[in-house]
Amino acid sequence: MASKGDIQATRFEATTTNAIVEPAIRLRGVIISNNDATNAGKVTLTTTSQSGPALFTADCPAGDVINFSFPEDGILFPKGIFVSTFTTVSAVTLLTDKYSGPNLTS
């Protein structure tokens, strides 16, 4: 499936109380890496805050990488993207609409 616009990749490696992506944004895809050879991993993404409404949860098998592109317009995170669960996962890369950069407005 082709993208309808510019995509930005944002990588994170741990749970934080800060927003991973601050403005309202559409999540177009996600890549989750789990280097643990024994235990499955889990990631939950929320909006508004770390304890806000969960809009996406994924499990990643032990020692695996998952790469998922969302159909159509992706998932809208109206108050930014936060992470509430980050268990037995090495890193997550979020593929979103481009939200900052030269010659772009916020």
Spans of all domains in the chain: 7-97
Contact (Cβ atoms closer than 8 angstroms) between residue 7 and residue 74: no
pTM: 0.86
Contact (Cβ atoms closer than 8 angstroms) between residue 60 and residue 42: yes
* Mean pLDDT of all residues in 31-53: 95
Contact (Cβ atoms closer than 8 angstroms) between residue 67 and residue 40: no
Token output for 39? 């235990």
55-82 pLDDT tens trace: 999 999 999 999 999 998 899 999 999 9
Contact (Cβ atoms closer than 8 angstroms) between residue 59 and residue 105: no
Q: Is the pLDDT reported for residue 41 higher than 90?
A: yes
Task: Specify whether domain 7-97 bears CATH 1.25.40.
Answer: no
pLDDT at 104: 44
pLDDT at 98: 83
Rg (CA), the chain: 14
